[in-house]
Amino acid sequence: MSAALLREIRAELRSRGLERRPTGRVLAELGVHAVLLGAGLAVFFAAEAGALRAAGLALALLGHLGVTTNSHTWAHRAGSTSRRFDDALAFLTGGLVSGISFVFWHDKHNRRHHGSPNVAGVDPDHDFWPFLALTETERARAKVGLRAWHRVQWLAFPLLLAAMFARMRLEGVCFAFRRARAAQPDTAALARFDLAVLAVSYAAWWGLPFVFGSLADALVLNVAREVFLSYALFAIFAPAHLPRDAVFLARRVEGDFALQQTATSLDYRVGRLAGFFLSGLQYQIEHHLVPGLAHPRYAELEPIVQRACARHGYPHRVLGWGEALRRALAVIRTPKPVMEPGAIAVETGASR
């Protein structure tokens, strides 16, 4: 059934010409985000009025968010027909601008998350142990003192969340250092180049503000950047996989790729302006089923996937952004169960 669903989706994509890569549009969107980032930084450093400087900082952070979400498409090698071009843009947007390790992201996101979404102990995107327990299993296995902390973790979550982006970037640096010592020459060389890009990124984000402004400017810019992107990226990624509706699994669904993806993912609705800055990340079901498709195609792909899922008995859930975020936050207070694959039909309504 999974193969039939995917064949149907692919056939309709081909018939509508949606498999063609809209490279120009992805680049144009990236250009707008980059202009917002640059213009905001220019205002932040040049203006004297506090309100104007704050507005410049807000504009820069919004542009930074757009560059970061746009990098997701390049990292999936979905932006063009050239793997080298996609990788170059991924290094530029994700590495140089956002400071996220290329080799780390490919392992963490492309391989482990997409290969086993919401699988306990495999998918790293909901593994925050011991700081947070997001599953009933994690809370139950904690010792008494840690279990007490997990009962009130939701009170400290806003503060913990503020460091999420910094934590991910630190994990990326450590991962790249380990890869740089790998036995395979190609793997080690790529990781060393990755580390060089990250070094330039960190030097630029801390050094240039000090050159053009002051140490205080560098602190304000970088602290605001860390906190804003932590909250923004949680608000973008968490509503798609964290709500109870998107099941957590004890193991992969063997032999049914489509059920693995649709049972663990949700779509959510946003306005056109917000959607521009999300770069298609609100369409997680479509993205997980066809990860090599460029994000501007997802709006057209969604009704195709909805019809195919309905015909083949797969779940396809869509929530409002606010409701999806509310349900994601609810799991911080009341952790989700970890299910066996056989229980998916009961939880999601799938007729598998």
Q: What is the mean pLDDT of residues 253-282?
A: 96
What's the gap between Cα 304 and its chain centre? Answer: 23
Which regions of 148-192 does DSSP assign to beta strands (E)? none
Beta bridge mates, 338 = 248
d(CA 84, CA 105): 17
163 or 185, higher pLDDT = 163
Q: pLDDT tens for residues 47-64? A: 989 999 999 999 999 999
Q: How many residues does the chain have?
A: 352
pLDDT the model gives residue 210: 85
Q: pLDDT tens for residues 121-171? A: 899 988 888 999 999 999 999 998 999 999 999 999 999 999 999 999 999
Give 299's contacts (C-beta < 8 A, 6+ positions apart): 280, 283
Q: pLDDT tens for residues 286-333? A: 999 999 999 999 999 999 999 999 999 999 999 999 999 999 999 999
Question: What is the overall mean pLDDT for the chain?
Answer: 94
The pLDDT-based confidence of 347 (bands split at 50, 70, 90) is low
d(CA 167, CA 56): 26
Nearest to 288 by CA among 93, 154, 123: 123
d(CA 243, CA 220): 33
Domain boundaries, the chain: 2-348
d(CA 241, CA 127): 13
187: pLDDT strictly greater than 80: yes
* DSSP calls for 246-278: S-EESS--TT-HHHHHHHS--EEE--HHHHHHH
Q: How far is CA 334 from CA 119, 246, 298, 320, 322, in A?
A: 18, 14, 32, 21, 18
| Structure token pair of residue 185 | 């020459």
Positive or negative CA dihedral for 105, 108, 113, 116?
Answer: positive
d(CA 305, CA 11): 12
What are the φ/ψ torsions at residue 338 (nearest 5 degrees)?
-100, 120
* pTM of the model as a whole: 0.93
Q: What percent of the chain has pLDDT over 70?
A: 97
